[in-house]
Amino acid sequence: MLFFVEEHVKIFIGEQKKIKKVKMIKYCSKCKFDKDVTEFYLKKGRTGLSGYSSSCKDCVKISKHKYYENNKDILCNKSKE
């Protein structure tokens, strides 16, 4: 699920102005936290509603590391062939 959060930022250029800055937030399905969309990988096919992966970059790295550790022998043999 992707949703938007509005942040009001004040800048000074001669006089004070308000600018709306929109920040996109997405829910990670593995760690169960709401995070900024910059912490998610873009899908190559851009399928789905948001076009981003369902797991954040940190969770993807952890799951890839676990997979490598559990299948190290198989992966090393495949690379030698």
48 vs 2, more confident: 48
Domain boundaries, the chain: 2-80
Q: Amino acid letter at 64?
A: K
At residue 7, the pLDDT reads: 52
Q: Using a pLDDT cut of 70, give the percent of the chain over it.
A: 67
Cα separation of 77 and 44, whole Å?
Answer: 28
pLDDT tens digit sequence for 5-60 = 555 545 455 555 555 667 788 999 999 999 998 899 988 776 667 788 889 999 99
Q: What average pLDDT is seen over the chain? A: 78
Neighbours of 34 (CB within 10 A): 11
Cα separation of 17 and 12, whole Å?
Answer: 7
In the numeric block, which tokens belong to residue 70? Answer: 């559990």
At residue 66, the pLDDT reads: 95
Q: Amino acid letter at 59?
A: C
In the numeric block, which tokens belong to residue 52? Answer: 């981003």
